[in-house]
Amino acid sequence: MIKAVRGTRDLLPPDTALWNFVEAAVRDVFRVYNFHEIRTPIFEETQLFSRSVGEETDIVEKEMYTWLDGKASGFETLMLSTWMLKHQGQIQTSAFERVFENRARPDLVVELDGHLVVAEFKRRTINQATINNVKQYRKAFAEAFPQEGDPKFLLVFAEEPTSYVRHLAQANGVDVEVMEIPGYEPPESLTLRPENTAGVVRAYIEHKLWDRGLNKLYYIGPQFRRERPQKGRYRQFYQIGAEVIGPPSSGSESPARDAEILELLATLLDRLGIENWTLELNSVGCPSDRAAYNEALRKALEPVVGQMCTDCQRRAVTNPLRVFDCKVPADQPIIEKLPRISQFLDEPCRKHFEQVQEILKSVGVDFQLNDRLVRGLDYYSRTAFEFTHGALGAQNAILGGGRYDGLSESLGGPSAPGIGFAIGEDRLVLALKESADAVQRKPDVYIAPLGAGMDREAARLARELRRHDIVAELGDETFRLKKSFETASKLGARLILIVGENEVKAGSFALKNLESGEQVSVPRGELVQKIRSDR
Ligand code: HAM
């Protein structure tokens, strides 16, 4: 049996009614705050995400669904033959080529200058899995050819791998060779969007949306991250998000925008009846604050990083701020003692943050300051926030967001300060008290055709009622009356309308209220009114 892929799921009725209820409420709120919908593609160029979310983030390093699009096949063979040509004189005549049957299969095993080399040819580095494969090869090789000793492992790339892959290769004793291939054109690397801010900012630049002044945009749609699935965490999940972005002259930088977004979120959660949420608020400062902060973190990490997990050891070198994303319990006491970003904010950032807080207080939105909240994406500057909810368990962040004042520039656009958020819709639905049953619209009436030829009459009646926005479900003339009644109550219909030969002749139909048991005969022309008045 073919099943839905791990981390993805089908949303079925009646649950979908709950999703629609949420989305309708959200659209209503967005409307009164004058937000308008944007729909960006579900896949984008990979570099959009690596440049905005950040090369060293968990999302980009480990979680993206990325593939080389188009004519990639046959390229590894071209790389292989180019490599063989390049090393022509050095490859021993006794060289052997082998494959690891039915196990991990590198592209080549060859004796080069007296050393055994296991080489894998990669068109482009995709992620850490590439290097992890080598570990498997090493094990499989030792098992398959115990007499050969420890060969040299080599990864051959057509493009410079990311700094992280080089770092990891080195740590695993794997050599990396970047090979020039005549006529090489990089294939298009595409990625299923892991989040939507990057796509919105790309669209802002592409369509010169600054001409419109301040853009207040919202989106609802699926996002994709290869995370370990658990309650509230999926590989295909849904976000409801919004972005306020525009040229500085449109007021996009103002703390008033931040406060408006946060107040909107409080209103939205309240409107949905979600209680006991907590707004955690921080400022992550501007790039110059962060440079000083990163330096301080590096220094503070130096003497202790040896005791931390391998991810943190890498982060300490490449992007110390990301150490705060660590979930390893043993590392937490160390992280707890690291310097706080709040000590590094410059005067304008401090003032901006204070103004946000003042407005929030004046509109009565409660918040908690948390200067360890740095968010798992690199593009943030100044205000960063999360709303958490106790009932969600481990995955308690119902939404997150913040300011990203330099993001447009880093994607080649003009200065366009912005702030936004994304709600995890899956988690929002989990936190709802409302039940799917309560929000689903049940049939107003079940139309029960009774006897041969009555399907026709029932269809005519259904068409008439539905035109008047009456939810009507149609039975079948082959059903006995008992079965029609059973089906109607199973569906939760309020009324049942009997359409038999006698009724059609008389032009008046038996209408029974399934709750009260009351039955009346209603002339055709009065049906709509009667069914409505009975609601
Ligand atoms: P994020 O914190 O990565 O931010 O995601 C926002 C929310 O999406 C999370 O708080 C969570 O509720 C939900 N979420 C994330 N991953 C999963 C998952 N695997 N399964 C279920 N829900 C998940 C962003 O994505 C930013 N783009 C938000 C933003 C917009 N910042 C500025 N503008």
Ligand 1 nearest atom to the CA of residue 401, by list position: 31
Ligand 1 nearest atom to the CA of residue 196, by list position: 27
Distance 385 CA to ligand 1 centre (A): 11
Scored b (16 or more CB within 10 A) or e, 243-271 reads bbbbbeebebbbbebbbbbbbbbbebbee
Distance 422 CA to ligand 1 centre (A): 5
Take residue 45 and report the two structure tokens written for it.
Answer: 């160029």
Q: Where do we find the tokens 């209603």?
A: 522
Distance 238 CA to ligand 1 centre (A): 9
Q: Quick one: residue 378, left, alpha or beta (phi over 0 = left, psi -120 to 50 = alpha)?
A: alpha
User: Of the residues 377, 386, 419, which should be mutated to test ligand 1's pocket, given the most ligand atoms within 8 Å of the CB?
Assistant: 377
- Ligand 1 site residues (CB inside 6 A) read 195-197, 225, 227, 232-234, 237, 239, 241, 243, 376, 397-402, 404, 420-422, 424, 426-427
Tell me the pLDDT of the chain (535 aa) as tens digits. Answer: 999 999 999 999 999 999 999 999 999 999 999 999 999 999 999 999 999 999 889 999 899 999 888 765 677 778 888 888 888 888 875 545 554 544 456 777 888 887 888 888 887 666 667 777 777 878 877 887 787 778 888 888 888 887 777 888 888 889 999 998 887 777 788 999 999 999 999 999 999 999 999 999 999 999 999 999 999 999 999 999 999 999 999 999 999 999 999 999 999 999 999 988 999 999 999 999 999 999 999 999 999 999 999 889 988 988 899 999 898 999 999 999 999 999 999 999 999 999 999 999 999 999 999 999 999 999 999 999 999 998 777 778 999 999 999 999 999 999 999 999 999 999 999 999 888 888 889 999 999 999 999 999 999 999 999 999 999 999 999 999 999 999 999 999 999 999 999 999 999 999 999 999 999 999 999 999 999 997 7
Pairing of strands 368-369, 277-283: parallel
Distance 321 CA to ligand 1 centre (A): 18
Residue 149 burial (CB count, 10 A): 9
Distance 357 CA to ligand 1 centre (A): 23
> CA-CA distance, 17 to 438, in Å (whole number)?
9
CB 279 within 8 A of CB 266: yes
Pairing of strands 445-450, 495-500: parallel
310-314 contact pairs (CB < 8 A, 24+): 310/171, 314/56, 314/164, 314/167, 314/168
> CA-CA distance, 319 to 63, in Å (whole number)?
18
Distance 515 CA to ligand 1 centre (A): 45
Ligand 1 nearest atom to the CA of residue 59, by list position: 3
Nearest CA to ligand 1 atom 22: 424
Q: Where do we find the tokens 């400062």?
A: 285
Query: For residue 193, which amino acid is it?
Result: R
Ligand 1 nearest atom to the CA of residue 234, by list position: 20
What is the pTM (predicted TM-score) of this model?
Answer: 0.85
Number of alpha carbons in the 13 Å side-chain half-sphere of residue 446: 25
CA distances from 389 to 266, 396, 511 (A): 13, 5, 47
